[in-house]
Amino acid sequence: MKYVIGNDHGGIDLVDAVEEKLKELGHQVEKVGTFSKESVDYPDFAKKACQKVIDKEADFAILLCGTGVGMSLSANKIKGIRAACVSETYSAKMSRAHNNANCLCMGARVIGSEVCKDIVEVFASTKFEGGRHEKRVNKIMDIEEM
Ligand code: RB5
């Protein structure tokens, strides 16, 4: 699978951990920045990364900011993106299994790199269950048409 990583200055400390784990799992990784600790605006990087998913240049986006919240709020405004802000592995698993999330958001001021790697591993290895969840996910997508 191909993953795109987007982050602001607040999320930069988790970028290496995410990249390392994804590569260890055999995935392709593209990073779209930011690449320094200079203050930037997280919506710009949410857009940049999620556009790759929308354009099918990536299968999943992983977005990192201070809390994961700003990134998830931004990403969920983009048609076709289902972003989950996660800080533990159970939610990471269910975000794939039940919600078919295509974007994982985490906060570098909330979790450390080892928890982050566990979350990435669970997210990357869990498949959408479909079935009764399909209808619900379709209802989420219908909200985009409101
Ligand atoms: C940047 O200071 C911080 O607000 C941002 O990284 C993120 O936590 C927003 O949700």
pTM of the complete model: 0.98
Mean pLDDT confidence for 66-86? 98
100 CB less than 6 Å from ligand 1? no
Q: What is the dihedral of CA 138, 140, 144, 146, to 10 degrees?
A: 100
Mean pLDDT confidence for 49-77? 98
The CA R_g of the chain, rounded to the nearest whole Å, is 14
Q: Which atom of ligand 1 is nearest to the CA of 66?
A: 8
Cα–Cα dist 115/121, whole Å:
10
Q: Which atom of ligand 1 is nearest to the CA of 70?
A: 10
Cα–Cα dist 125/129, whole Å:
12
For the stretch 106-123, pLDDT in tens is 999 999 999 999 999 999
What ranges in the chain are assigned the alpha helix state H?
15-24, 42-54, 69-75, 89-97, 113-125, 132-143
In which band, very low, low, confident or very high, does the pLDDT at 49 lie, cut at 50, 70 and 90? very high
67 CB less than 6 Å from ligand 1? yes
For the stretch 127-137, pLDDT in tens is 999 999 999 99
